Amino acid sequence: MADIIQLLPDHVANQIAAGEVVQRPASVVKELLENAIDAQATSITLLIKDAGKTLVQVTDNGIGMSVTDARLSFERHATSKIKAAEDLFNLHTKGFRGEALASIAAIAHVALKTKTEFAEIGTLLTVEGSKVISQDPAVVPKGTTISVKNLFYNIPARRNFLKSNPVETRHIIDEFHRVALAHPSVTFEMIHNGSDVFKLPASNSRQRIVNIFGSKTNEKLVPVNEETEILKIEGFVLKPEYGKKSRGEQFFFVNDRFIKSPYLHHAVSSAFEGLMKNGVHPGYFLFLEVDTHAIDINIHPTKTEIKFDDEHAIYAMLRATVKHSLGQFNIAPILDFERDKGFDTPYEYSKKAPTTPSIEVDSSFNPFKEKPKQANINFPFKRSSSGVERTTSWESLYVGLKDEPETDFAIGNIEFESEEVTGNLFETTETETAQLTFQLQNKYIVSPLKSGMMIIHQNLAHQRILYEELLKNITVKEAVSQQLLFPLQLHFSKPDVEIIEKIREQLEHTGFIFSQLKEETIEISGIPVLIMESHVVNLLHQLVHDIKEEVPDNGFSQNDMLAKSMAASMAIKTGVSLNKEEREHLINQLFACKEPTVSPTNKPVFTTLEVSELDKKFM
């Protein structure tokens, strides 16, 4: 039998490795930004076009590379970060595998410009599909600029699996956030299709969070700080009232490296136990410092998962630290039986100096000098020719009451109209009187049928009703708005405001009226008649989250997603009690819909239970 095992060519091996390291343009952004951080850069600029599909360019002012290093950087397993296997357990840098640039160069057109501080001239290196096209001297500033063009140009199947531009842009922004939050002392700038997205000056951790997520984030943060022999914890958690249904603002950093850890997330969530509603997740920005020998980073190709030597101890410390911070800043309720709140100084007087109260005394006052004026007051009861005649006894008011004869207007002679209903304007049949509905567990509406009963899920039914009405309003553009006496001013991050700006026209067709849209502020003067003013904030937050997760293309699909998201936020929730009229109105509206059987998310709205099925239960 002939030999069938053979070595793969280098360019094929690099493409296979690229499948692990480079999944989308955001993966390229992550690797290039981390390389810039390792190069000791203090200023980094990220430039992308068409969500990174056409161009991803990272420019830094780091130490740069020599001619030889520039050439070797595109070889597999070539790195300056480690030299022996033992170094894997003492890592202080980001990239150490030596596969990132080689994998990127295998599936894109890469141009590298670099120069060290003391070199007179730099290097320009061009690589296409793992093949070095040219390497020439070039006049470039100190640092490194890497341009990645036409990603996946030689792997069409992988390129076809990329999502739409807004989705890929969101993933790039997420990676940008993770690197920028971990290194607040570095200046970052992000430019997309010629427009500035972020300009982040060098600052501290708190200011960096505020610069990314908006100025109103500052009042939401609760500091967290603890240091032990095993673990050092710094950062912030968001106050419980600012929790969200989506897991957006949740960041763990271990030794300035972003990680994903459901185990540590559970520790933070348990610290918020009792302070948040079910289904609401806390937000946090936590920076952990652990001994490099106590963690293993090299367990995942993207290095977003870490293995701890003592997970239970870190879990307990993290949970206790977050809980202590919530109690220390009076976020969580505390029990102190010896403390009397009556002696607490009001906040506005806490910093004022005490002053002696002034007392005024009337030295001429004599309470026995003359009779009080109240002694001359008399109460008139009978009129006389001179004006008022006074009575001497209260018993005289009741003289003669018992002797007065009964008149025709005595109470006993009053006849009342009968309240008994003698007849109905319309004849009611037996089937109409039997149509009674009732609510089960404040979740289902049960209605009898001739053949059995029908059980309706009230939340899904209301979603279907609202969905068709909203979709009609968006399409026909004839929605009704209710004007607000005082406009609502809502605060969002800059990317979220841009998302709302893109769907502003569709929102106005549903009944919203926007009087102002700034970088981080939205002012609403009118809302749809179907929602309450207090629900607007949650509705818009959920809508922005849904768009970030799906981001459909323009046209009907975007209107469809918008109607689905708004219907889910506005629908009657499980646990809400409905009276008889509300239940019947909901049923009538449901069966007036075009598709009453399924919800907007294709879940069954109701089910029927036949009498024969009930009979089988008793056989």
Following DSSP, what letter does each residue of 545-598 receive, concatenated? HHHHHT-PPTTHHHHHHHHHHHHHHHSPPTT----HHHHHHHHHHHTTSS-TTB
Residue 12's pLDDT band (boundaries 50, 70, 90)? low
Closest alpha carbon to 445 in 601, 590, 587? 587
pLDDT at 308 over 90: no
Lowest mean pLDDT among 19-33, 75-89, 193-207, 210-224: 75-89
Average pLDDT over residues 474-493: 82
CATH T-level topology, domain 444-607: Ribosomal Protein S8; Chain: A, domain 1 (3.30.1370)
pLDDT top residue among 163 and 200: 200
223 beta partners = 236
Q: How many CA atoms lie within 13 A of 235 on its CB side?
A: 26
Q: Report how far apart, in Å, the C-alpha atoms of 433 and of each of 13, 200, 436, 448 are.
A: 77, 69, 7, 11
3-state secondary structure of 158: helix
3-state secondary structure of 288: strand
User: What are the strands of the beta sheet with 513-517, ordered from one edge?
Assistant: 481-491, 521-528, 513-517
Query: What pLDDT sits at residue 68?
Result: 87
pLDDT at 407 over 60: no
User: What are the strands of the beta sheet with 444-448, ordered from one edge?
Assistant: 438-440, 444-448, 452-457, 606-610
Residues listed for the chain: 619
Query: What pLDDT sits at residue 1?
Result: 56
Lowest mean pLDDT among 299-308, 538-547, 564-573: 299-308
138 beta partners = 122
Average pLDDT over residues 106-121: 90
Q: Report how far apart, in Å, the C-alpha atoms of 593 and of each of 292, 461, 462, 572 are.
A: 61, 10, 11, 17
CA separation for the pair 152, 133 (Å, rounded): 18
610 beta partners = 452
Share of the chain above pLDDT 90, in %: 23
Asked if the domains 212-328 and 444-607 are classified in one and the same CATH topology, the answer is no
Domain residue ranges in the chain? 10-200, 212-328, 444-607
Query: What pLDDT sits at residue 428?
Result: 47
User: Which DSSP string do the residues of 378-447 spell out, in sequence order?
Assistant: --EEEEETTEEEE-S-GGGGGTTTTTSPP-TT-GGG--PPP------SS---HHHHT---EEETTTEEEE
CA separation for the pair 380, 363 (Å, rounded): 38
pLDDT at 434 over 60: no
**pLDDT one-digit tens code per residue, 233-289:** 999 999 988 888 777 788 999 888 888 888 889 999 999 888 888 778 899 999 999
33 beta partners = none
pLDDT at 81 over 80: no
pLDDT at 444 over 60: yes
pLDDT at 149 over 90: yes
CA separation for the pair 272, 249 (Å, rounded): 15
Torsion of CA 304, 309, 315, 320, to 10 degrees: -120
Average pLDDT, the chain: 80
pLDDT at 164 over 70: yes
Average pLDDT over residues 392-421: 58
CA separation for the pair 229, 216 (Å, rounded): 35
| 143-149 and 55-60 beta bridge pairing | antiparallel
Is residue 583 within 8 Å of residue 445, measured between CB atoms?
A: yes
Query: What pLDDT sits at residue 44?
Result: 94
What CATH number has the domain spanning 10-200? 3.30.565.10
Average pLDDT over residues 154-169: 84
Tell the burial category of 202 from Cβ atoms under 10 Å away from its Cβ (0-12, 13-18, 19+).
middle
| 187-192 and 43-49 beta bridge pairing | parallel
CATH T-level topology, domain 212-328: Ribosomal Protein S5; domain 2 (3.30.230)
Lowest mean pLDDT among 58-67, 346-355, 383-392: 383-392
CB atoms within 10 A of CB 216: 15
Residue 319's pLDDT band (boundaries 50, 70, 90)? very high
Query: What pLDDT sits at residue 61?
Result: 93
Closest alpha carbon to 539 in 574, 500, 505, 586? 500
Residue 332's pLDDT band (boundaries 50, 70, 90)? low
pLDDT top residue among 517 and 423: 517
Is residue 156 within 8 Å of residue 40, measured between CB atoms?
A: no
